Amino acid sequence: MSIDYPVILKNSEEGYAVACPALPGCWSQGDTEEEALANIRIAIEEYLAACRHLL
Q: How does pLDDT run along the chain (55 residues), one tens digit per residue?
A: 689 999 999 998 889 999 999 999 999 999 999 999 999 999 999 999 999 988 7
Pick the CATH number of 8-54 from 3.30.70.1150, 3.30.160.250, 3.30.300.30, 3.50.50.60: 3.30.160.250
pLDDT of residue 34: 98
pLDDT of residue 19: 98
pLDDT of residue 2: 82
Indicate the pTM of the whole model.
0.89
pLDDT of residue 54: 81
Cα 36 off chain centre by:
8
Contact 11, 37 (CB under 8 A): no
